[in-house]
Structure 1
Amino acid sequence: MSYVTGFLTPVKIKDKDRYIKSAETAWPLFQSYGCLEHVETWGEDVPDGTHTSFPMAVKREDDEVVVFSWLRWPDKATADEAWAKMMEDPAMKDMDMPFDGKRMMWGGFGVIFDQKA
């Protein structure tokens, strides 16, 4: 089964176009390292919670939206190798990051069920 790296981060509403541009710039880099799929989603129905929620997790501010995204890899080994190489890649270091990386969270997930219509 494939492997997914997931991300959750707050992005300033005014920076939506800038964020999209950064994703468009990042995709060829991710793809060159073996990524199969890159999905970015802009929060539209992301309610505040009482005990926990996406907005609470990223400490979303009033002028921000929660973005949820993922990268699909063929397997964990490919993802691990890609991240190691990308951290040394000058193209990655020069990339525009229009979000507060201190409030971004990410993790790697093994796919346990995957069906498509």
Structure 2
Amino acid sequence: MERYVDGFVIPVLNEQLDAYREMASEAGKLWIKHGALEYFEGVGDDMEPDMDGMPMVTFPQLADTESDETVVFSFIVFESRDHRDEVNAKVMEDPTMDSDNYEEEMPFDPERMAYGGFRSIVSYE
């Protein structure tokens, strides 16, 4: 089966990381409730890896983070692109997503979030 993944790279202020974790925890429950196969949120840890001199762009460079920010790497796994579209439609229709339910601002700047949908070309389980 060809899996499909929505991927995200998000710069988050260090002081907002706990708020982001809370938001992500609720979001993860919501996506799983509506059929996503896996939901993952990870915070940057080894952001300047030693690649034995190999040139590369690091995630902080990619996300253009400031000194008071970190990078969150996230992904959601689906059965297929069609399945992704079905799950995301259900999530958006869920009453939890009603903007009136959000008392606080997002704990990150959505305009700086990088997002993409990816079809799998190699997958091992």
TM-score range, shorter chain: 0.7 to 0.9
- Alpha-carbon distance in structure 1 between the residues aligned to 2:123 and 2:24: 24
Q: Residues 82-101 of structure 1: CA distance to partner in whole angstroms, max 9, x if unpaired?
A: 22343344422335631110
TM-score (structure 2 length as normaliser): 0.79
Map 1:77-96; keep pairs closer than 5 Å.
77-92=82-97, 93=99, 94-95=101-102
* 2:73 matches 1:68: yes
* Structure 2 match to 1:111: 120
Q: Residues 66-112 of structure 1: CA distance to partner in whole angstroms, max 9, x if unpaired?
A: 11110001111011122234334442233563111010011111111
Q: Which runs of 5+ in 1 are unaligned?
A: none
* 2:106 matches 1:101: no
- Alpha-carbon distance in structure 1 between the residues aligned to 2:56 and 2:46: 18
Native 8 Å contact 1:5 1:72 kept in 2 = yes
Q: Which amino acid aligns with 1:6?
A: G
Q: Residues 18-71 of structure 1: CA distance to partner in whole angstroms, max 9, x if unpaired?
A: 111111111121012210101111111223xx8844223322111100111100
- How many percent of aligned residue pairs carry the same amino acid? 39
Q: Which amino acid aligns with 1:112?
A: I
Give the aligned length.
115
State the 4+ residue runs in structure 1 displaced beyond 4 angstroms. Answer: none
Q: Which runs of 5+ in 2 are unaligned?
A: 49-54
- Alpha-carbon distance in structure 2 between the residues aligned to 1:45 and 1:51: 14
| More moved, 68-77 vs 84-93 | 84-93
Which structure has the bigger radius of gyration? 2
- Alpha-carbon distance in structure 2 between the residues aligned to 1:88 and 1:56: 35
- Alpha-carbon distance in structure 2 between the residues aligned to 1:38 and 1:82: 12
